[in-house]
Amino acid sequence: MKQILCLILCLTMAGCQTMGAVSEVGTTLGVASGTITESQAAAIKRSTAALAKSFEDITPEQEYYIGRSVGAVVLSSYNAWENKEATNYLNLLGQTLARFASKPEVYKGYSFLILDSDEINAFAAPGGFIFITRGMLRLCSNETELAAVLAHEIAHVSEKHGLKAIRKSRLTTALTTIAVEGAGAFAGGHLAELTEAFGGSISDITGTLMNRGYSRAFEREADQEAVAILRACGYDPSGLPNMLAAMGKRLKPGAPDFASTHPSPESRIQDLQQMGVYGKNITVHSVRQARFHKALHAV
């Protein structure tokens, strides 16, 4: 039994078809050798099928509803800031930037919402749901810097960082369940427990967004795409390191804000410099600055 489980675990990452083949061959050999019973073999096949399902591509519709669920959790911790002018402006700017992303279209489109919080933070949920706090907006001194923040969050959606976090955690939980419960061959409710492990995906991603944060590699990837979006849309990418420098001066260690969910601003500025993007004084366009102040004067 233990040898068969190890075989399945080792080849899990090979994909659904391989997993099914390993399960079939392994359980057949196990029954023939007397290592496991027929009922145990059937349980292993069912559990392997449930695990394989976690590898299936998530459709745009599924991504949208996952994002909606994540958004609901975010809004259970924060109130939305009801300011129509500011919200409309944020959506116009954000959706313009999203057109130049590697994934410009998502199911039902990108949406942007302001959170009524003094925290300096922003979140991007799967499906194009992007949240930014009033504290973060106050830190932006011009439209270019705001565009840099939004482009970074859009890049998280384009690169499917939220979904990648979900898949990793679902798989880890499933493998742990198989390893721990394998000796019982998922008798009784064990198979249900394995399937239920996948239902925690919403908690996985909200925990990543609001508590743990993405890895430095994911943040670097999002910054890299943000730079490409900004350049394609006609914004100076220097707005990104400028914002990071401003955050570095304002963030408080241990506070529930950007500092708790992102790598240090200094490390990200270093990564941007390796991409050839340096902080500098930005040319402020009068038209952009006028609409920026008009829309966000009450923030």
d(C-alpha 224, C-alpha 197), whole Å: 33
Region 126-139 average pLDDT = 96
- Confidence tier at 10 by pLDDT (50, 70, 90): very low
Indicate the residue type of 263: P
CA pair distance 198, 242, nearest whole angstrom: 40
What digits encode the pLDDT tens for the residues 243-252? 999 998 887 7
Least confident of 28-37, 47-56, 275-284: 47-56
27: Cα within 13 Å, side-chain hemisphere: 20
Q: Please name the residues in contact with 229: beta carbons below 8 A apart, sequence gap of 6 or more.
A: 97, 100, 101, 151, 154, 155
Run of H or E residues at 226: helix 216-233
pLDDT mean over 94-109? 95
Q: Average the pLDDT over each of 66-70, 168-172, 211-215, 236-240 and give the range with the smallest value.
A: 168-172
Which pLDDT score, from 0 to 100, does residue 164 have?
A: 80
So what's the pLDDT on residue 168?
54
Judged by average pLDDT, the poorest of 38-52, 83-97, 194-208, 270-284 is 38-52
* pLDDT, averaged across the chain: 78
- In this predicted structure, which of 31-35, 180-184, 216-220 has the lowest mean pLDDT? 180-184
Q: Based on the number of CB atoms within 10 Å of its own CB, is 186 exposed (0-12), middle (13-18) or buried (19 or more)?
A: buried
pTM of the model: 0.72
Tokens 């998530």 belong to 58
Range among 47-61, 163-177, 230-244 with highest mean pLDDT value: 230-244
- Sign of the C-alpha dihedral computed for residues 62, 207, 245 and 266 taken in this order: negative
How many CB atoms lie under 10 A from the CB of residue 209?
Answer: 24
Of the CA atoms within 13 Å of residue 6, those in its CB half-sphere come to: 3
Instruction: State the pLDDT at residue 70.
Output: 87
**Residue 131 pLDDT:** 97
Q: For position 171, what pLDDT does the model report?
A: 52
What is the helix (H) or strand (E) element at residue 124, kind and residue range?
Answer: strand 122-125
Question: Which pLDDT belongs to residue 2?
Answer: 41
Out of 91-105, 203-217, 229-243, 253-267, least confident range:
253-267
pLDDT at 80: 98
Question: Which has more pLDDT, 95 or 194?
Answer: 95
Q: pLDDT digits over 134-180, tens only?
A: 999 999 999 999 999 999 999 999 999 888 876 555 555 555 555 45
- All residues at 6 or more sequence positions from 82 whose CB lies less than 8 Å from its CB, including other chains: none
